[in-house]
Structure 1
Amino acid sequence: MSTTIVIADDHAVVREGIRGLLRIDPGFTVLAEAENGETAILMVREHRPDVLLLDLMMPGMGDAAEAMIGLIRKASPETHIMILTSSDDDRLAFKAIEAGAHSFLLKSMRGEHLLNAIHAAGKGTPTLHPLVAQRLLNSIRNPQPRQFEDLTARELEVLRCLAEGGSNAKIAAELNITEKTVKAHLGSIMSKLDLTDRTQAVALAWRAGLMKQ
C-alpha cells in the first residue's frame, strides 16, 4: 500500500526537490502541497495523508508553530507529522515534539535517510535527527539551570567556553565557528541574561553550576 504525503514548505524549489526525491520510490504518493501553515491545515483536513512533511520556518509560523501542530493533529489525528526544517534550534525541536509532532528531521540530511524516515513514518514509527536526539537526551540527563532556559545549545556551549577562560578566538577554534559568530552568540547571551559584560557572564555560569554539566 502506498504511503500518502502532503508537503508543506514555503519555497517552491524545496517542494519540487522533495517531490522529485519521492518519485524515486513507487511506495510514495504526494497528494498535495502547501506554501503556508493555513493551507497545510486545509490540505491535511481534505486529504488526511499518512504523512505531513512540515517546515516550521514558513512565514507566519514563528511562535504559532505549536498551535499550528495542534490544529493539524485535530484536523487529522492519524496523520504522522514529520518536521523537516533547516533549523536545529533545540527549543524549536522540543516545542514541536511537545506540541505533537512525531518526527523531527533536518534538511541537511541525505535523501536516502529521508526516504527511510518516511517509510518508517508510514508504519507509525517516529524518527529524530541524530543531533536532535542527542540534545534531547542531554537535556534529560543534564537539565540546565533555570536561568539558562532561553539559551540555545550553541549559546550554552559558547558560555561554557567563555567561563573556562576562552577568548573569542579560542572559542571560535574550539567550536569550529568564526569569531564573528562567537560575538553574535555572546551578544545574544548578554541580552537574554540581562548582563553587561563577560565577567558577569562568567560569574553567573560558575555560580549557577553550569560548568558541572
Structure 2
Amino acid sequence: MIRVVIVDDQALVREGLRALLGRADDIEVVGEAADGNDAVRVVERTEPDVVLMDIRMPGTDGITATRRILGASPSTRIRVVVLTTFDSDDNILDAIGAGATGFLVKDSAPEELRTAVRIVAAGEAMLSPTVTRRVMQAAARSPRVRGTEMLSVLTEREREILAEVGRGLSNDEIGRELFISPTTVRTHVTRILAKLQARDRANLVAIAFRTGLVPPTDP
C-alpha cells in the first residue's frame, strides 16, 4: 500500500482528495493536515510514502513545510507532490528547490491524481508538459547560475541527456531521441543526479534551465 498524507487548508479539498484516493486498492490515506506546521507533525507520526502538499496556506506555507519535512532526514523516502493552480502560482522553482518531486493541478482528473501518487511513490518525478513550460517561464525571470562550472563534472553525453530531461522527456523518449536504451538513459540520469547532488528529476529540470543548458524560449 502507498501511504499518503493530504495537506490543504480547505476541508472540502481534503475530503475530496481522500474520496478520490480511497477508490484505489493500492493507496491509503493515513493522515491530513490544514497547515504547514501541522503537516510536519502528521508526517512525523504517520511516516507516509507520499505527501500531497498545497503551496498556499495561512501561517507556514507548503514550500516551507516541504523543506522541513524533507530536510529532517536527507535519506528520507518521503515524496512530496505539490498541489497548485498554475494560473496563480509562481513558486514552481522554489518548490523544486525545497525538494518537491511532483506537481499537480487541483482540478486534475481523478485517475491523474492516482497516477501521480503511484509515479512519485515509485521514485520518479511527476512533471507534465504544463509544469515544464511553467519552469521555463520561471527560469526566464530568475537569475542564472554559472553553468560552465556546475556542468563541468558531466560528460558530453550526460549534458545531452540532462538537456532532454530539462525539456520534459521521459527515459523512453530520450532513448528514442538519442538511439540508446531506456536502461542506459536511466543509468546516465542516476550518475547525473549524483554528480550534481540533485535530489531527483524535478531538480534536474530546474538545473537545466538555471544553467542555460536549455534556453527558456525552447518549446
> Where on the TM-score scale, by shorter chain, does this alignment land: which range?
0.5 to 0.7
Corresponding residue number in structure 2 for 1:54: 53
Corresponding residue number in structure 2 for 1:26: 25
2:6 and 2:29 in contact (8 A); partners too = yes
Instruction: Identify, as 1 or 2, the structure richer in helix.
Output: 1
What is the alpha-carbon distance in structure 1 between the residues aligned to residue 63 and residue 93 of structure 2?
Answer: 10
1:88 and 1:106 in contact (8 A); partners too = no
Structure with larger RCO (C-alpha < 8 A, sep 6+)? 2
What is the alpha-carbon distance in structure 1 between the residues aligned to residue 134 and residue 54 of structure 2?
Answer: 20
1:76-129 alpha-carbon deviations (Å, 9 max, x no partner): 621101101234446311111111111111112211111111111111111024
What is the alpha-carbon distance in structure 2 between the residues aligned to residue 145 and residue 72 of structure 1?
Answer: 25
What is the alpha-carbon distance in structure 2 between the residues aligned to residue 144 and residue 5 of structure 1?
Answer: 34
Which amino acid is 1:13 matched to? L
2:90 and 2:138 in contact (8 A); partners too = no
TM-score w.r.t. structure 2 length? 0.59
Corresponding residue number in structure 2 for 1:73: 70
Between the two proteins, the alignment pairs up a number of residues equal to 142
Q: 1:81 aligns to what SS in structure 2? A: strand
RMSD: 2.1
**Offset, 1:133:** 1.2
Corresponding residue number in structure 2 for 1:130: 129
Corresponding residue number in structure 1 for 2:105: 106
- Identify the range of structure 1 (12-21 vs 89-98) with the bigger mean alpha-carbon deviation: 89-98
Corresponding residue number in structure 2 for 1:182: none
What is the alpha-carbon distance in structure 2 between the residues aligned to residue 47 and residue 137 of structure 1?
Answer: 35
1:31 and 1:47 in contact (8 A); partners too = yes
**Offset, 1:137:** 4.0
**Offset, 1:4:** 0.3
- Identify the range of structure 1 (70-79 vs 16-25) with the bigger mean alpha-carbon deviation: 70-79
The percentage of counterpart residues that share the same residue type is 35
Query: Could you say if the C-alpha distance between residues 83 and 144 of structure 1 is closer, same or farther in structure 2, counting changes exceeding 3 Å?
Result: closer
2:50 and 2:78 in contact (8 A); partners too = yes
Corresponding residue number in structure 2 for 1:197: none
**Offset, 1:10:** 0.8
What is the alpha-carbon distance in structure 1 between the residues aligned to residue 115 and residue 5 of structure 2?
Answer: 17
**Offset, 1:9:** 0.6
TM-score w.r.t. structure 1 length? 0.60
Structure 2 portions without partners, runs of 5+: 144-216
Which of structures 1 and 2 has the bigger CA Rg?
1
Which amino acid is 1:96 matched to? A
Corresponding residue number in structure 1 for 2:81: 82
What is the alpha-carbon distance in structure 2 between the residues aligned to residue 103 and residue 116 of structure 1?
Answer: 11
What is the alpha-carbon distance in structure 2 between the residues aligned to residue 11 and residue 144 of structure 1?
Answer: 31
Which amino acid is 1:43 matched to? V
